Amino acid sequence: MAILSYREALNRAMTEEMLKDPNIFVMGEEVGHYQGAYKVTQGMLAKFGEERVVDTPISENGFAGIGVGAAMVGLRPIIEFMTWNFSLVAIDQIINSAAKMLYMSGGQFKMPIVFRGAGGVGGRLAAQHSQAFESWYVHCPGLKVVAPATPKDACGLLKTSILDNNPIIFIESEVLYGFTGEVPDQEFSIPIGKGEIKKEGSDISIITWSRAYHFAIQAAEELEAEGISAEVVDLRTLRPLDEEIIYNSIRKTNRAIVVEEGWPQAGFGAQVAYLIQKNCFDYLDAPVERITQEDVPMPYAANLEKLSMPSAEKVKTKIREMLS
Protein backbone atom coordinates (compact mmCIF):
# COMPACT_ATOMS: atom_id res chain seq x y z
CA MET A 1 0.00 0.00 0.00
CA ALA A 2 1.22 3.49 -0.88
CA ILE A 3 0.44 6.42 1.39
CA LEU A 4 -0.98 9.16 -0.81
CA SER A 5 -2.77 12.42 -0.21
CA TYR A 6 -6.29 12.83 -1.59
CA ARG A 7 -4.93 15.14 -4.32
CA GLU A 8 -2.15 12.70 -5.24
CA ALA A 9 -4.69 9.88 -5.49
CA LEU A 10 -6.82 11.91 -7.92
CA ASN A 11 -3.73 12.83 -9.95
CA ARG A 12 -2.71 9.18 -10.14
CA ALA A 13 -6.17 8.13 -11.36
CA MET A 14 -6.21 10.68 -14.18
CA THR A 15 -2.60 9.99 -15.16
CA GLU A 16 -3.08 6.22 -15.34
CA GLU A 17 -6.13 6.52 -17.57
CA MET A 18 -4.66 9.26 -19.79
CA LEU A 19 -1.58 7.12 -20.42
CA LYS A 20 -3.87 4.37 -21.76
CA ASP A 21 -6.29 6.46 -23.84
CA PRO A 22 -5.30 9.51 -25.93
CA ASN A 23 -8.96 10.56 -26.12
CA ILE A 24 -8.95 11.56 -22.44
CA PHE A 25 -8.07 15.17 -21.69
CA VAL A 26 -8.35 17.62 -18.78
CA MET A 27 -9.74 21.13 -19.18
CA GLY A 28 -10.29 23.93 -16.69
CA GLU A 29 -8.97 27.08 -15.09
CA GLU A 30 -5.29 26.89 -14.09
CA VAL A 31 -5.06 23.12 -14.63
CA GLY A 32 -1.90 23.39 -16.73
CA HIS A 33 0.81 25.98 -16.20
CA TYR A 34 -0.27 26.76 -12.62
CA GLN A 35 -0.48 22.97 -11.91
CA GLY A 36 -4.07 23.22 -10.66
CA ALA A 37 -5.67 25.57 -8.14
CA TYR A 38 -5.40 22.78 -5.54
CA LYS A 39 -2.43 21.11 -7.29
CA VAL A 40 -4.48 18.08 -8.31
CA THR A 41 -3.14 18.29 -11.88
CA GLN A 42 0.46 18.92 -10.83
CA GLY A 43 2.95 17.56 -13.37
CA MET A 44 0.32 16.59 -15.92
CA LEU A 45 1.06 19.38 -18.39
CA ALA A 46 4.67 18.18 -18.67
CA LYS A 47 3.48 14.59 -19.26
CA PHE A 48 0.68 15.23 -21.74
CA GLY A 49 1.15 18.68 -23.27
CA GLU A 50 -1.20 21.58 -23.89
CA GLU A 51 -3.58 19.68 -26.17
CA ARG A 52 -4.55 17.33 -23.33
CA VAL A 53 -4.13 19.56 -20.28
CA VAL A 54 -6.00 22.65 -21.40
CA ASP A 55 -5.98 25.96 -19.54
CA THR A 56 -9.18 27.93 -20.05
CA PRO A 57 -10.41 31.50 -19.51
CA ILE A 58 -12.68 32.18 -16.53
CA SER A 59 -15.73 30.94 -18.43
CA GLU A 60 -17.29 27.85 -16.85
CA ASN A 61 -20.31 27.86 -19.15
CA GLY A 62 -18.01 27.99 -22.14
CA PHE A 63 -15.55 25.24 -21.28
CA ALA A 64 -18.28 22.99 -19.83
CA GLY A 65 -20.05 23.32 -23.20
CA ILE A 66 -16.84 22.49 -25.06
CA GLY A 67 -16.57 19.37 -22.90
CA VAL A 68 -20.13 18.32 -23.75
CA GLY A 69 -19.45 18.73 -27.46
CA ALA A 70 -16.17 16.81 -27.19
CA ALA A 71 -17.91 13.93 -25.42
CA MET A 72 -20.56 13.81 -28.15
CA VAL A 73 -17.92 13.15 -30.81
CA GLY A 74 -16.08 10.41 -28.91
CA LEU A 75 -13.55 12.13 -26.67
CA ARG A 76 -13.52 11.64 -22.89
CA PRO A 77 -13.16 15.05 -21.25
CA ILE A 78 -12.45 15.68 -17.58
CA ILE A 79 -13.77 19.15 -16.82
CA GLU A 80 -12.36 20.71 -13.66
CA PHE A 81 -14.29 23.38 -11.83
CA MET A 82 -11.96 25.29 -9.55
CA THR A 83 -14.79 24.90 -7.05
CA TRP A 84 -18.28 23.48 -7.40
CA ASN A 85 -19.56 26.89 -6.33
CA PHE A 86 -18.55 28.04 -9.81
CA SER A 87 -20.49 25.21 -11.45
CA LEU A 88 -23.60 27.37 -11.03
CA VAL A 89 -22.35 29.39 -14.00
CA ALA A 90 -22.33 26.18 -16.07
CA ILE A 91 -25.40 24.46 -14.65
CA ASP A 92 -27.35 24.84 -17.90
CA GLN A 93 -24.67 22.84 -19.75
CA ILE A 94 -24.62 20.19 -17.03
CA ILE A 95 -28.38 19.78 -16.54
CA ASN A 96 -29.85 20.64 -19.95
CA SER A 97 -27.09 19.30 -22.19
CA ALA A 98 -24.91 16.66 -20.52
CA ALA A 99 -27.59 14.99 -18.40
CA LYS A 100 -30.24 14.84 -21.14
CA MET A 101 -28.23 14.20 -24.31
CA LEU A 102 -28.42 10.39 -24.28
CA TYR A 103 -32.19 10.43 -23.71
CA MET A 104 -33.04 13.24 -26.13
CA SER A 105 -30.89 11.77 -28.90
CA GLY A 106 -32.58 8.39 -28.58
CA GLY A 107 -29.30 6.82 -27.50
CA GLN A 108 -27.31 8.20 -30.44
CA PHE A 109 -24.96 10.32 -28.33
CA LYS A 110 -23.19 8.89 -25.32
CA MET A 111 -21.86 11.39 -22.80
CA PRO A 112 -18.52 10.15 -21.35
CA ILE A 113 -17.66 13.29 -19.37
CA VAL A 114 -16.49 13.87 -15.80
CA PHE A 115 -17.16 17.19 -14.10
CA ARG A 116 -14.89 17.33 -11.06
CA GLY A 117 -13.51 19.79 -8.53
CA ALA A 118 -13.57 21.04 -4.96
CA GLY A 119 -16.88 21.09 -3.14
CA GLY A 120 -18.45 21.37 0.29
CA VAL A 121 -17.45 23.62 3.15
CA GLY A 122 -14.07 25.31 2.79
CA GLY A 123 -11.99 26.98 5.45
CA ARG A 124 -13.18 30.54 6.11
CA LEU A 125 -14.30 31.02 2.52
CA ALA A 126 -17.66 32.54 3.46
CA ALA A 127 -21.12 32.23 1.96
CA GLN A 128 -20.35 32.07 -1.77
CA HIS A 129 -17.53 29.51 -1.60
CA SER A 130 -18.60 27.06 1.14
CA GLN A 131 -21.59 25.19 -0.26
CA ALA A 132 -22.39 21.50 -0.60
CA PHE A 133 -24.35 21.10 -3.83
CA GLU A 134 -24.64 17.31 -4.17
CA SER A 135 -28.42 17.34 -3.59
CA TRP A 136 -28.86 19.72 -6.56
CA TYR A 137 -27.19 17.28 -8.94
CA VAL A 138 -28.58 14.09 -7.41
CA HIS A 139 -32.02 15.56 -8.20
CA CYS A 140 -31.38 15.34 -11.97
CA PRO A 141 -31.88 12.06 -13.87
CA GLY A 142 -29.08 11.35 -16.32
CA LEU A 143 -26.26 12.27 -13.95
CA LYS A 144 -24.21 10.06 -11.67
CA VAL A 145 -22.95 11.70 -8.47
CA VAL A 146 -19.77 10.59 -6.70
CA ALA A 147 -18.51 11.96 -3.36
CA PRO A 148 -15.48 10.05 -2.02
CA ALA A 149 -14.12 10.54 1.49
CA THR A 150 -10.69 8.86 1.35
CA PRO A 151 -7.70 8.82 -1.02
CA LYS A 152 -8.32 5.18 -1.92
CA ASP A 153 -11.96 5.82 -2.80
CA ALA A 154 -11.06 9.01 -4.67
CA CYS A 155 -8.56 7.16 -6.85
CA GLY A 156 -10.66 4.07 -7.53
CA LEU A 157 -13.88 5.95 -8.18
CA LEU A 158 -12.29 8.56 -10.44
CA LYS A 159 -10.82 5.82 -12.63
CA THR A 160 -14.25 4.21 -12.93
CA SER A 161 -15.86 7.59 -13.62
CA ILE A 162 -13.44 8.39 -16.46
CA LEU A 163 -14.35 5.10 -18.16
CA ASP A 164 -18.11 5.51 -17.71
CA ASN A 165 -20.19 6.55 -20.72
CA ASN A 166 -22.47 8.78 -18.64
CA PRO A 167 -21.92 12.29 -17.23
CA ILE A 168 -20.36 12.10 -13.77
CA ILE A 169 -20.55 14.74 -11.06
CA PHE A 170 -17.39 14.08 -9.04
CA ILE A 171 -17.30 16.18 -5.87
CA GLU A 172 -14.01 16.38 -3.96
CA SER A 173 -14.05 17.85 -0.47
CA GLU A 174 -12.07 21.08 -0.50
CA VAL A 175 -10.48 20.45 2.89
CA LEU A 176 -9.48 16.82 2.20
CA TYR A 177 -6.89 17.44 -0.52
CA GLY A 178 -4.05 17.11 1.99
CA PHE A 179 -5.61 14.17 3.86
CA THR A 180 -3.48 11.02 3.48
CA GLY A 181 -4.35 7.36 3.45
CA GLU A 182 -3.47 3.96 2.05
CA VAL A 183 -3.93 3.38 -1.67
CA PRO A 184 -3.12 0.02 -3.34
CA ASP A 185 0.13 0.03 -5.30
CA GLN A 186 -1.38 -1.83 -8.24
CA GLU A 187 -4.01 -0.34 -10.52
CA PHE A 188 -7.54 -0.80 -9.21
CA SER A 189 -11.02 0.61 -9.59
CA ILE A 190 -14.10 0.90 -7.38
CA PRO A 191 -17.58 0.42 -8.89
CA ILE A 192 -19.97 3.34 -8.92
CA GLY A 193 -23.05 2.66 -6.81
CA LYS A 194 -21.40 0.60 -4.07
CA GLY A 195 -21.09 1.92 -0.52
CA GLU A 196 -18.77 0.56 2.14
CA ILE A 197 -19.04 -0.23 5.84
CA LYS A 198 -16.06 1.68 7.20
CA LYS A 199 -16.69 0.61 10.81
CA GLU A 200 -18.83 -2.26 12.10
CA GLY A 201 -21.26 -1.54 14.94
CA SER A 202 -24.43 -2.81 16.59
CA ASP A 203 -26.22 0.10 18.33
CA ILE A 204 -26.77 2.68 15.57
CA SER A 205 -25.98 3.23 11.88
CA ILE A 206 -24.34 6.48 10.81
CA ILE A 207 -25.02 7.08 7.10
CA THR A 208 -22.65 9.57 5.52
CA TRP A 209 -20.38 10.55 2.61
CA SER A 210 -17.53 12.89 1.63
CA ARG A 211 -16.04 15.07 4.39
CA ALA A 212 -18.92 14.32 6.77
CA TYR A 213 -17.58 10.75 6.92
CA HIS A 214 -14.64 12.04 8.95
CA PHE A 215 -16.96 13.61 11.53
CA ALA A 216 -18.87 10.34 11.66
CA ILE A 217 -15.87 8.04 12.09
CA GLN A 218 -14.37 10.29 14.77
CA ALA A 219 -17.65 10.29 16.68
CA ALA A 220 -18.02 6.51 16.34
CA GLU A 221 -14.50 5.83 17.59
CA GLU A 222 -14.89 8.18 20.57
CA LEU A 223 -18.28 6.71 21.50
CA GLU A 224 -16.66 3.27 21.82
CA ALA A 225 -15.16 4.47 25.12
CA GLU A 226 -18.71 5.04 26.37
CA GLY A 227 -19.83 1.56 25.40
CA ILE A 228 -21.74 2.73 22.31
CA SER A 229 -21.16 0.70 19.15
CA ALA A 230 -21.82 2.80 16.04
CA GLU A 231 -21.65 1.45 12.50
CA VAL A 232 -20.37 3.89 9.86
CA VAL A 233 -21.74 3.50 6.33
CA ASP A 234 -19.87 5.53 3.71
CA LEU A 235 -22.16 5.79 0.69
CA ARG A 236 -19.32 6.98 -1.61
CA THR A 237 -21.73 7.47 -4.52
CA LEU A 238 -25.13 9.13 -4.19
CA ARG A 239 -26.61 8.40 -7.60
CA PRO A 240 -26.87 5.50 -8.18
CA LEU A 241 -27.35 4.83 -4.46
CA ASP A 242 -26.43 1.60 -2.71
CA GLU A 243 -29.72 1.22 -0.86
CA GLU A 244 -29.11 -2.34 0.31
CA ILE A 245 -26.03 -1.45 2.34
CA ILE A 246 -28.16 1.11 4.21
CA TYR A 247 -31.07 -1.26 4.85
CA ASN A 248 -28.86 -4.18 5.91
CA SER A 249 -27.07 -1.97 8.42
CA ILE A 250 -30.29 -0.64 9.94
CA ARG A 251 -31.85 -4.10 10.18
CA LYS A 252 -28.87 -4.91 12.40
CA THR A 253 -28.68 -1.74 14.53
CA ASN A 254 -32.35 -0.57 14.52
CA ARG A 255 -31.38 3.13 14.59
CA ALA A 256 -30.09 5.56 11.99
CA ILE A 257 -28.57 9.02 11.78
CA VAL A 258 -27.57 10.73 8.52
CA VAL A 259 -24.60 13.12 8.61
CA GLU A 260 -24.01 15.55 5.73
CA GLU A 261 -22.45 18.93 4.95
CA GLY A 262 -25.42 20.23 2.99
CA TRP A 263 -28.30 22.37 4.22
CA PRO A 264 -31.24 20.59 5.87
CA GLN A 265 -34.06 21.78 3.58
CA ALA A 266 -34.47 19.19 0.79
CA GLY A 267 -30.96 17.90 1.42
CA PHE A 268 -29.90 14.47 0.18
CA GLY A 269 -30.05 13.21 3.75
CA ALA A 270 -33.80 13.82 3.69
CA GLN A 271 -34.08 11.38 0.77
CA VAL A 272 -32.01 8.83 2.65
CA ALA A 273 -34.22 9.24 5.73
CA TYR A 274 -37.34 8.75 3.58
CA LEU A 275 -35.95 5.55 2.06
CA ILE A 276 -35.08 4.23 5.52
CA GLN A 277 -38.54 4.84 6.98
CA LYS A 278 -40.17 3.37 3.88
CA ASN A 279 -38.08 0.21 3.70
CA CYS A 280 -37.00 -0.35 7.32
CA PHE A 281 -39.94 1.03 9.31
CA ASP A 282 -40.57 -2.19 11.23
CA TYR A 283 -36.90 -2.38 12.26
CA LEU A 284 -36.59 1.15 13.66
CA ASP A 285 -36.54 1.67 17.43
CA ALA A 286 -36.30 5.48 17.07
CA PRO A 287 -36.98 8.16 14.43
CA VAL A 288 -34.24 8.72 11.86
CA GLU A 289 -32.17 11.77 12.78
CA ARG A 290 -30.01 14.12 10.69
CA ILE A 291 -26.93 16.27 11.32
CA THR A 292 -26.48 18.98 8.66
CA GLN A 293 -25.06 22.40 7.98
CA GLU A 294 -27.21 24.99 9.76
CA ASP A 295 -29.88 26.55 7.56
CA VAL A 296 -27.93 29.77 7.01
CA PRO A 297 -25.40 31.14 4.52
CA MET A 298 -21.93 30.15 5.69
CA PRO A 299 -20.42 32.83 7.98
CA TYR A 300 -16.88 34.05 7.41
CA ALA A 301 -15.89 34.42 11.10
CA ALA A 302 -14.11 31.26 12.26
CA ASN A 303 -16.16 30.85 15.44
CA LEU A 304 -19.47 31.22 13.58
CA GLU A 305 -18.32 28.93 10.77
CA LYS A 306 -17.57 26.20 13.33
CA LEU A 307 -20.96 26.64 14.97
CA SER A 308 -22.78 26.31 11.66
CA MET A 309 -21.04 23.12 10.53
CA PRO A 310 -21.61 19.47 11.37
CA SER A 311 -19.05 18.10 13.81
CA ALA A 312 -18.11 14.93 15.64
CA GLU A 313 -19.36 16.51 18.86
CA LYS A 314 -22.79 17.20 17.35
CA VAL A 315 -22.96 13.63 16.10
CA LYS A 316 -22.05 12.22 19.51
CA THR A 317 -24.60 14.40 21.30
CA LYS A 318 -27.41 13.35 18.99
CA ILE A 319 -26.51 9.67 19.24
CA ARG A 320 -26.48 9.82 23.04
CA GLU A 321 -29.98 11.35 22.92
CA MET A 322 -31.21 8.63 20.57
CA LEU A 323 -29.89 5.86 22.80
CA SER A 324 -30.96 7.35 26.12
In a shared domain, residues 178 and 238: no
Quick: pLDDT tens for 249-298.
999 999 999 999 999 999 999 999 999 999 999 999 999 999 999 999 99
pLDDT of residue 50: 97
Structural domain ending residue among the three candidates 132, 156, 183: 183
Mean residue pLDDT of the chain comes to 97
**Domain membership of residue 312 as a residue range:** 196-323
pLDDT at residue 133, rounded to an integer: 96
137/246 same-domain check: no
Give the domain-ending residue among 183, 212, 244: 183
191-220, pLDDT tens digit by residue?
A: 999 999 999 999 999 999 999 999 999 999
Query: Are 170 and 233 found together in one domain?
Result: no
Tell me whether residue 33 is one of the annotated catalytic residues.
no
Say if residue 58 is in the same domain as residue 97.
Answer: yes
Q: Do the domain assignments include residue 190?
A: no
| Domain assignment present for 238 | yes
Same domain, 151 and 31: yes
Amino acid letter, 81: F
What pLDDT band is residue 122 in, cutting at 50, 70 and 90? Answer: confident
Task: State the average pLDDT over residues 22-44.
Answer: 97
pLDDT band of 93, cuts 50, 70, 90: very high
Assess if residue 28 is contained within a domain: yes
What pLDDT, on a 0 to 100 scale, did the predictor assign at position 286?
Answer: 96
Q: Are 235 and 205 in contact (CB under 8 A)?
A: no
Catalytic residue, chosen from 8, 29, 60, 231, is 60
- For 162-198, write each residue's pLDDT tens digit: 999 999 999 999 999 999 999 999 999 999 999 999 9
Say whether pTM exceeds 0.85: yes
Peptide bond into 240 cis (omega under 30): yes
pLDDT for the residue numbered 124: 87
Q: What is the CATH number of the domain that holds 211?
A: 3.40.50.920
**Is 129 in the active site?**
yes
One domain for residues 125 and 74: yes
Closest to 268 in 3D by CA, of 207, 309, 217: 207
Which residues lie below 8 Å from residue 259, measured CB to CB, with a gap of 6+? 206, 207, 208, 212, 213, 215, 216, 269, 290, 291, 310, 315
Of 282 and 123, the structure prediction assigns the larger pLDDT to 282
**Does residue 36 sit in the same domain as residue 138?**
yes
pLDDT at position 44 is 98
189 located within any domain: no
Kindly name the residue from 129, 172, 260, 305 that is annotated as catalytic.
Answer: 129
141-152 mean pLDDT: 98
- Which tens digit of pLDDT belongs to each residue from 99-121? 999 999 999 999 999 999 999 99
Within this chain, do residues 30 and 117 fall inside the same structural domain, yes or no?
A: yes
Say if 188 falls within a structural domain: no
In a domain, 191, yes or no: no
In this prediction, residue 185 carries a pLDDT of 96
- State the first-to-last Cα distance of the chain, in angstroms, to the nearest integer: 41
Q: 169 and 259 share a domain? A: no
The verdict on 223 and 144 lying in the same domain is: no
pLDDT for 173 equals: 96
